[in-house]
Structure 1
Amino acid sequence: MRRAGAAATVIAIACGWLVQNPAMADGGKVVCDGKGACWIVAADTQESAGHPGRHGKSASSIDGSSMKPKCRDGLQSNVEVPCALDGLGTWSNAHNCYLKAAVPQPQEGDPAREGHAADDGAVYNAYCPNNPNMQNMWLAQAPNGVAAAVDPRVLALQAVKKMTLLGPDIGIAPRPEGKGVVGMPVWMWAKDVPNAWGPVVASASAGAVTVTATARVSKVSWSMGDGSKVVCNGRGTAYKATFGKKVSPDCGYRYDQPSATTPSGKYHVTATATWAIGWEGGGQTGQLTEVRANGVDIAVAEVQVLN
């Protein structure tokens, strides 16, 4: 620590300010505001509202309420410092630094991780007045009072949990309340319902990190109830009576056996949607997949030919 005559040397933390020596000078004392600016005031000065002069022995300090809670450095100097600084993080007495979790977190193999795996501890941006060369540090656990590192991937999963993703809202011809015929075209489609087709958007936040996820159905796999499957990459085309006996242009099927051959007398048709979910936030992007299913029963009869 250095002394400049009898006066304490003061440097502003907000842009590199640091109280180099907290000792009383000519009866003065050092005070700091919530933004990290420090100055010398008279020892008997009462803290009150107003901004003091940089060298004001007789100047008043800031409102004492803005100084709470108060923190002190962990050095022998025992300097009172702001507990948090905008953009720099939270004061860690154990490390004598302002720390905040790095966003995004460095990937495995990055030198900042000091050889630790991506799921082992976290890297924190560091502003250390007594060690200006220290820019980050790996820590196994978040220091007391410092917000833990936020993994955007975890927030992405939380965002997905907020979504009410459903299985396809099934459209099918023949209709469940009707009856189809062996050999006749079957039309299948997924109705355009947001929570059953998308897009569905949701966000999740922790600290200063917000992740937004968007989900859309990428494909629908149809299990026809007779052991066959049909994969459709789009919603399919809704059947209209004017189509008559035409075949679906993008999502159809034909049964070659009547449903009477099944225990229930009907074919149980299951539509399984694959949701493709893209997310971004915290300086990262990613993809997730969810699967949802829905089902209906349809009857398919065999046409009897009379001689």
Structure 2
Amino acid sequence: MGNFWSNGAPPAAAVDPVDVARNAVDKMKLAGPDIGIVPKPGHNGLVGLPVWMWTEKTPETYGPNTASATAGAVTVTATARVSKIVWDMGDGHTVTCTSAGTPYEASYGKRRSPDCGYLYKRSSKDEPGQKYGVTATSTWTVDWNGAGQSGQMSQTRQSQAQITIGQLKVLN
């Protein structure tokens, strides 16, 4: 084999828009939920009383979060939004919420959350540290488009909190 000389530059490598979309997502700061929960960590809740769960709605914790990336002649814009949050309540049950939830206010009293809540049926006294470990997992749905193409991908992020649930015993 000998040397080969060409009058032009070698052809540019093809750029996959999906790879560029992943680069755009990498530029975003997608986090797990900024957990809001009542009873608050460090305070006690009671068996049978409503637990309220929510996340703050910021671009990093709920979306929308948008970023663009370029490789060669391909530019892709991606927008991420949380499509659901799955709450593992630490007692073997999960709750799936398709909204950010409603932040609890004292004026709500003992009402149940209208969109993201739970009722514990037993206390946390037999759990490690006498607390339930609550894990909230956000599923981020990312829509992207560029170079005449579009697509969707998803990613997950988690946050954790610990809450104490007691049991009130009434004697006659």
Map of 2:40 onto structure 1: 175
Structure 1: distance between partners of 2:147 and 2:94 = 40
Distance of 1:202 and 1:233 partners within structure 2: 24
1:196 aligns with one of 33, 57, 61: 61
Q: How high is the TM-score relative to the length of structure 2?
A: 0.94
> Using the alignment, how far apart are the partners of 1:178 and 1:194 within structure 2?
29
Alignment partner of 1:153 is 2:18: yes
Shift of 1:306: 2.5
User: Match of 1:232, as an amino acid?
Assistant: C
What TM-score, normalized by structure 1, do the two folds share?
0.53
In the alignment, the residues of structure 1 paired with residue 115 and residue 158 of structure 2 have an alpha-carbon distance, to the nearest angstrom, of: 20
**Equivalence map 1:121-132=2 (5 Å):** none
- Counterpart selection for 1:250 from 93, 115, 136: 115
Between the aligned partners of 1:295 and 1:229, the Cα distance in structure 2 is: 14
Distance 2:126 2:49 in 1: 17
Where in structure 2 are there 5+ consecutive unaligned residues? none
Q: Which has the larger radius of gyration?
A: 1
Shift of 1:193: 1.9
Q: Does the residue aligned with 1:194 lie in a helix, a strand or coil?
A: coil
TM-fit CA distance, 1:215: 0.4
Match of 1:282 among 123, 147, 150: 147
- Displacement of 1:192 in angstroms is 1.1
**1-structure distance, mates of 2:59, 2:14:** 34
1:1-40 alignment runs, 5 A limit: none
Q: 1:304 deviation in Å?
A: 2.0
Task: Give the number of the structure whose residues are more often strand, by fraction.
Answer: 2
1:212 pairs with 2:77: yes
Partner residue of 1:186?
A: 51
The residue that corresponds to 1:166 in the other structure is: 31
Partner Cα separation in structure 2 for residue 249 and residue 204 of structure 1: 39
What's the CA shift string for 1:148-183, capped at 9, x where partnerless? 111101100111111111000011111112110000
Any idea what the Cα deviations from partners look like across 1:206-229, whole Å, max 9, x if unmatched? Answer: 122100100000000000000000
What per-residue deviation string (whole Å, max 9, x for no partner) do you get for residues 69-113 of structure 1? xxxx96xxxxxxxx7xxxxxxx35xxxxxxxxxxxxxxxxxxxxx
Shift of 1:262: 0.7
Give the AA of the match of 1:219: K
Identify the structure with bigger relative contact order (alpha carbons < 8 Å, sequence gap 6+): 2
